[in-house]
Amino acid sequence: MSSAPTKIHTVDKEGKEITTVGFNRFGFDSEVNLEALRALYLRAHYSNAGPNGKSAQNSSDEDGTYQSNSIYNKETGGISYTTLTRFPPVKLLAPSERKRVLVTGGAGFVGSHLVDRLMLLGHEVTVLDNFFTGSKTTVSHWVGHPNFELVRHDVVEPFMIECDQIYHLACPASPPHYQYNPVKTVKTSFMGTLNMLGLAKRTKARFLITSTSEVYGDPEVHPQHEEYWGHVNPIGIRACYDEGKRVAETLTYGYQRQDKVDVRVARIFNTYGPRMNPYDGRVVSNFIVQALKGEDMTVYGDGKQTRSFQYVHDLIDGLIALMNSDESRPVNIGNGDEFTIIEFAELVREIVEKVQDEAGIKRTRSVKIIHKDMPKDDPKQRRPDTTRAKETLKWQPRWSVRMGLEEMVRYYKAKMEEGNL
Ligand SMILES: NC(=O)c1ccc[n+]([C@@H]2O[C@H](COP(=O)([O-])OP(=O)(O)OC[C@H]3O[C@@H](n4cnc5c(N)ncnc54)[C@H](O)[C@@H]3O)[C@@H](O)[C@H]2O)c1
């Protein structure tokens, strides 16, 4: 059974201890305690039944993790779900400071971290999600809270609500998911964005879309700055996502010019962290899961292609800063520390071994790195130029890849121990 989170020592790129994430900028305070956030994701989802059929864990809100204490019985294969008796404490904001925030795709990987942050800060949050790739479990610790609403809704259909800010994230983000139904992916990007922009126009809410570095395609400019128009194959297998996001940006600026909608465009580069779907085919989750299971790690091609990876807390800092700033041009949000895929695989293997050694886990074999053919249209190089974010948002990533990976390995390890991976 997985235990409650142990105290983890985390330092930023300059070696300073990280105890909080966020900052007070542009009149919006986004700072929260890191341990308070960790209590929401770095813990077991359920406990296993003891010999008497009862959970060996105490009621979890007493130990500060604020989770329902659902109990899994291995013998019967049954799980009995429990509900929270107490919610995680949130900041008490004056009504004038409290924003009504709509987060589409809020049950997904990035969305759920944004929801945790906004909820802890004391805002009113409504999540719209069709649960295509997201899951209720990512936000279940807020269900029933007076500041929170979870609505099953597909953004290709219009939706009406009163709100002050819209974070529009709804869209599958990993290649196997967005390629599963490419027509639906384009529809989600186009119609979903059209509907949410229509809502922003009607309510005069500020609108932020999570666009992507994929709008640069297989770039001829390195690193990529926001003025670069990209090099995208419009009919390739990734086009449903890349072109979908490009047209979503076109729509966003159309509404800005035509209807004076207050818009923000974040171009997000590869992001990783807890709650990422372990089987979504993205390189970070692939490597960690393979290494934790003692399987060989698969590198596509010769592994010399480079990637940069950003930890999810840095992304949430950037998104909140952008939403509350005056910057309406596209802004790259990513970590520029570049690794070849081979270097990255080696780092993941080293960290997995470190975390296993700390926990006294014996490895049955040493994990090897093997090579397979490169998938079609896979970009060879991708690295953000984040000068604009630095100048206008005063934002730069704080988390080193090593620190973020350690957290993510601990998260997947906990899931593995509870038999959930
Ligand atoms: N994670 C990254 O590295 C990354 C990089 C660039 C851009 N982004 C963007 O960030 C956003 C979130 O990505 P993520 O990594 O959290 O992906 P995710 O797949 O975990 O989350 C997407 C969420 O949107 C929901 N969704 C999908 N289609 C929907 C629809 N038609 N109606 C309602 N809900 C729908 C899913 O159920 C899921 O909860 C996406 O817009 C993605 O394009 C992510």
pLDDT of residue 420: 76
- Please state, in angstroms and rounded to a whole number, the distance separating the CA atoms of residues 21 and 28: 14
The residue to mutate among 264, 268, 272, having the most atoms of ligand 1 within 8 angstroms of its beta carbon, is 268
Q: Which residues pair with 210 in a beta bridge?
A: 266
Stated length of the chain: 421
> What is the 157 CA–ligand 1 centroid distance (Å)?
17
pTM to 2 decimals?
Answer: 0.93
Nearest CA to ligand 1 atom 28: 171
pLDDT of residue 419: 76
pLDDT of residue 3: 44
pLDDT of residue 9: 83
Q: Does a cis peptide bond (omega within 30 degrees of 0) precede residue 223?
A: yes
All structural domains of the chain with their residue ranges:
20-43+90-417
Active site (annotated) includes residue 180: no
> What is the 17 CA–ligand 1 centroid distance (Å)?
31
pLDDT of residue 67: 59
pLDDT of residue 55: 55
Find the catalytic residue in 66, 216, 241, 412: 241
Q: Is 210 strand, coil or helix?
A: strand
- Tell me if 66 sits within 8 A of 86, measured CB to CB: yes
pLDDT of residue 194: 98
- Tell me if 394 sits within 8 A of 321, measured CB to CB: yes
**Of the options 3.40.50.720, 3.40.640.10, 3.40.710.10, 3.50.50.60, the CATH number for the domain spanning 20-43+90-417:** 3.40.50.720
**Residues within 6 Å of ligand 1 by CB:** 104-105, 107-111, 128-134, 154-156, 169-173, 177, 188, 192, 210, 212, 268, 270-271
Nearest CA to ligand 1 atom 18: 108
- Tell me if 126 sits within 8 A of 152, measured CB to CB: no
Taken in order 160, 161, 164, 165, the sign of the CA dihedral is negative
Please list the pLDDT of the chain residue by residue as tens digits (421 residues): 344 445 678 999 889 999 999 999 999 999 999 999 998 998 766 666 665 655 555 444 455 556 566 787 878 888 887 777 788 999 999 999 999 999 999 999 999 999 999 999 999 999 999 999 999 999 999 999 999 999 999 999 999 999 999 999 999 999 999 999 999 999 999 999 999 999 999 999 999 999 999 999 989 998 999 999 999 999 999 999 999 999 999 999 999 999 999 999 999 999 999 999 988 888 899 999 999 999 999 999 999 988 889 999 999 999 999 999 999 999 999 999 988 999 999 999 999 999 999 888 888 888 999 999 887 666 667 789 999 999 999 999 999 999 999 999 999 998 888 777 8
Residues 6+ apart with CB under 8 A from 247: 186, 189, 190
Among residues 278, 275, 301, 280, the alpha carbon closest in space to that of 289 is found at 278
Nearest CA to ligand 1 atom 32: 154
Residues 6+ apart with CB under 8 A from 254: none
Question: What is the rounded end-to-end Cα distance, in angstroms, of the chain?
Answer: 13
- Please state, in angstroms and rounded to a whole number, the distance separating the CA atoms of residues 293 and 313: 26
